[in-house]
Structure 1
Amino acid sequence: MKWRGRRGSRNIEDRRRMGGGGGRQLSLVGVLLVLGVGYFLGVDVTPLLQGTGVGVQEQVETEITPADERAGQFVSVTLADTEEVWAKLFREQVQQAYQPVTLVLFKGVTQSPCGGASGATGPFYCPGDKKAYLDTAFFTTMETRLGAGGDFAAAYVVAHEVAHHVQNELGILGQANRVRAQSSEAEANAISVRIELQADCFSGIWAREAQAQFGSLERGDIAEAMNAARQIGDDTLQRNAGRVPQPHTFTHGTSEQRERWFAPGFETGDMRQCDTFGAARL
């Protein structure tokens, strides 16, 4: 992905120098048991941690490494690209102005209106403040633990969280979450899958437009994004955790579904083709 030397976004809230310290901490094993398939990517899963003793009680100075600096610059450029892409698409396809998302970079732990954020929760979007939260160490997790390395795989993560903001701006996310709140656990999970797959489709739209507007894609970039989508499918995550996949617990979709829904966004650039809620088959 061609990103160096390009414009960065002003909508970055960098909290990385004030990492979390103190407080009660849940062990890594405990976190994995609690979070399950929600560990790696997507919506806020911090409500699952309530009552577990995970908390943020104080802030301590945190060192910013050269790798942190590079990751921050990369995220800033990627976010700037999403701003231009979605501003154009909102004008052309829904005839309204796009209000960009703010992306919070943190290191270790931080807080949001949706709950505490940590490396265990993974990236997420919080409708409460219309901000996306990302610990850039997650990119290392993707590469070393998930086998989903590469700049464009990381860009896909950013684009996916921005896509949740797009859903929020369009009123889709609020409506879906209201229905989820009145549903059974299995039904709520099924709605979550449709939310996530639509975000994957919107990510495909972003990838198409990033190439059209900026020429930023390089050979192998789409393969990196598709591999990332495959590695974070609910079924793959559960198998890799030594569990038998249980579809009624899925909240993000299978590997096959996540790859498949990225495709119509990338192939058409049309938000209407991302209607997972009206699809008879996911």
Structure 2
Amino acid sequence: MEVNKFVEFREKVLENVGKVIVGKKRKIDRIIVAFICSGHVLLEDVPGLGKTKLARALSQTLNCSFKRIQFTPDLLPSDLTGIYYYNQKTMEFEFKKGPLLSQFVLADEINRATPRTQSALLECMEERQITVEGNTLKLDKPFFVIATENPIEQFGTFPLPEAQLDRFFMKLSMGYPSYSEEIAILDRYKEKDPLEELKPVITLEEIQYLQKDFVYVEVKEEIKRYILDVVNETRRHKDIELGASPRATIALMKGCQAYAAIQGRDYVITEDVKSIAPDVLSHRIILKAGGRTLGDKSHEAIEDILNNINTPLEEI
């Protein structure tokens, strides 16, 4: 395993996406981690903070085919997967591809679609395949979904149930830019949109190597036990009604491996766990007395666990 390839990948992505998105390096780091782990990301934030710009910039940087789907209540599963239609010229049935047969998919306002349509997307995310009229088609690799939802406007929405939220590797929030960052945004977008001139800087071979080899980052026994202690504590915490699942445990370990690799290490340390855990676990728990309506309280509950749980002594 060549750690320098992971570091170079991170630097190239940050530099290229940084031509379009001001700041947000920490958020982009997290998305890089999810992408390396072949996971998917849910972005929950108010409109106008650059979620779509970020997705487009990432897809162009990674040289991936890109489709944006605007989720609405009348959207059908076949609108995502595609349909078979009868071609009168050839007198045969042909398949018309849907937007899910792309490498990079932006599912905009996913909570506006009906549960049936949401399920069609989430099945593709998990199985990496679609089934249309009994025929199964494998999706191209890499296959990466960034879904967005607006936490403020709830009229006409269908909230994602817990089992579907658990399919997302991470849940992130962009947040408002600082004063100086917003000045930089005004300067950058004064004359033209930098996204129009953004060039790919990553090859498919690089992506394949990273997604295949990050698993060779060492996770010592005490780190595995620390990860499990953190997850187990979500099942016992006084403010948490429903704790994280075993899928969350696996996601946290893999996220730590990818995060360690892009930091230039071939081994995981406890700081990796502390850094990644809130973004991997916060959407996989339900709080008592109000559940998800408490917003950032889920993040705070995970931070509380990390602050109070014993950290293993490491000998690296």
TM-score (norm 1): 0.31
- Please identify which structure carries the higher helix content: 1
Higher relative contact order (CA 8 A, sep 6+): 2
Q: Which has the larger radius of gyration?
A: 2
TM-score (norm 2): 0.28
